[in-house]
Every structure is written in structure tokens, then in C-alpha cells.
């Protein structure tokens, strides 16, 4: 599980947010809980993505509402893509004092299926993600910074849809989305955050 800081920029302004990001590379699934500030209103985004089945759930615990969508994006593991180009190596912090510098590598590339360009930064040792900046014409820039890495799946329940999510539906009749579009709040109906919503979202 990772803690993220997410900055989104586009023609309609700037959105800042903090998110928890549960990631299961083996089963190709992601749970993304994002608290955002948009025009002075705090809202919650809760997404469950099952890439193997091509399904995404938009979850709203405050209304016990869940919308199922077709996920038109293949799974991208959190690692340096094989076709990425090396850009630079930098030290975050300082090497003047032992232990105060973090050696990182940055890579750039494209994802043709969603017309995306990206820059990814990973640590030199253990190759943990530090930041990711992705641009598409539909979303503008989305920048993510990664903190507080916890290795392994901390809570398998994160990847199980809540009881109020639809169990079955004909996929051809479902609305479609992809990973980057799903992160853009103007594409979605967002739940305003209140105390009760926040409590339920962590149960």
C-alpha cells in the first residue's frame, strides 16, 4: 500500500489531493481512495479497478451507491516500462552528509493506447516509485508523488466490491472509462466528504 500526493492540472484549474493506493500486481487490481479539494470543496473518490476482468467500480459509501464501468486500460505494473527511455539520474537531498541523499532515476515514454506521455522517477536501489507525471489530451497533467511504502497486500478486503455493488451486468451496456479518465473529477459524480463519509471509507 502507498500513500500518494496527487496534483492535477488542466484548463479548468488545479486540484490537489491525498490518496491511499492499494496495489496488487499479481492479481492486477488497484484500490484508489482519494480526498480532493476542488474549488474549496472537499470530495472523496473511491475506485476499485479489476484489470483482468476489465471492470471498475466507483464507490460512494455515503449513499451506498456503486457504479460499474468497463475499464479500457491494460494493467501497467508499477515499474520502469521496457520501452521507456532513460532521462537522468539525480540525488534528492544531499550527499554532503551520509544518509541524507536518495539516488533516483527518471524515465520518459508514451502510452499510445491512451495518447499519454509520462515521466517516471524511481529509486536507484530497490526501484521504488518516487513520482509519476502523465499527460493526455483529455485529462491534462496528473502528477503523483509516492510516500510511506508498505510492501505486500495489507488488506485483501480492499479488492472486494462492497455488498451494494452490482454483482452482474452485461458489459456491453456499461459506460466505459480508462485509468487516467477515471482520475479526473469532472468525469465523475463525486461525493462531498463529511465526518460520517470519512469514517465509513476506512472501514
* Per-residue pLDDT tens digits for 69-110: 999 988 988 889 999 999 999 999 998 999 899 999 999 999
Helix (H, G, I), strand (E, B) or coil at 25: coil
Residue 169 makes CB contacts below 8 A (sequence gap 6+) with 68
pLDDT grade, residue 184 (50/70/90)?
confident
What is the per-residue pLDDT across 120-159, written as a single tens digit (0 to 9) for each?
999 999 999 999 999 988 878 888 888 888 888 888 999 9
pLDDT digits (tens, 9 = 90+) for 35-71: 887 777 788 889 999 999 999 999 999 899 999 999 9
CATH value at residue 120: 2.50.20
**Distance from CA of residue 190 to its chain's centroid?**
16
| pLDDT band at residue 117 under the 50/70/90 scheme | very high
Region class of 162: left (phi > 0), else alpha (psi between -120 and 50), else beta: beta
The whole-angstrom separation of Cα 23 and Cα 159 is 9
- Banded pLDDT at 8 (limits 50, 70, 90): low
> What is the tally of structural domains in the chain?
1
Range of the domain at 137: 2-201
Amino acid at each position: 500500500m502507498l500513500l500518494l500526493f496527487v496534483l492535477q492540472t488542466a484548463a479548468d484549474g488545479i486540484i490537489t489531493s491525498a490518496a491511499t493506493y492499494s496495489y496488487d500486481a499479481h492479481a492486477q487490481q488497484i484500490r484508489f481512495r482519494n480526498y480532493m479539494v476542488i474549488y474549496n470543496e472537499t470530495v472523496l473518490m473511491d475506485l476499485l479497478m479489476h484489470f483482468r476482468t476489465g471492470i471498475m467500480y466507483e464507490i460512494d459509501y455515503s449513499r451506498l451507491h456503486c457504479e460499474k464501468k468497463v475499464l479500457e486500460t491494460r494493467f501497467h505494473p508499477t515499474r520502469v516500462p521496457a520501452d521507456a527511455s532513460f532521462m537522468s539520474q539525480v540525488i534528492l537531498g544531499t550527499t554532503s552528509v551520509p544518509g541524507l541523499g536518495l539516488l533516483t532515476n527518471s524515465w520518459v515514454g508514451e502510452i499510445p493506447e491512451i495518447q499519454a506521455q509520462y515521466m517516471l522517477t524511481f529509486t536507484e536501489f530497490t526501484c521504488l516509485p518516487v513520482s509519476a507525471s502523465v499527460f493526455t489530451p483529455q485529462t491534462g497533467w496528473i502528477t503523483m508523488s509516492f510516500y510511506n511504502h508498505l510492501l505486500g497486500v495489507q488488506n485483501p478486503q480492499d479488492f472486494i466490491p462492497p455488498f451494494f455493488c452490482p454483482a452482474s451486468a452485461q458489459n456491453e451496456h456499461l459506460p466505459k472509462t480508462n485509468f487516467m479518465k477515471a482520475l479526473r473529477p469532472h468525469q465523475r459524480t463525486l461525493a462531498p466528504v463529511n465526518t460520517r463519509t470519512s469514517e465509513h471509507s476506512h472501514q
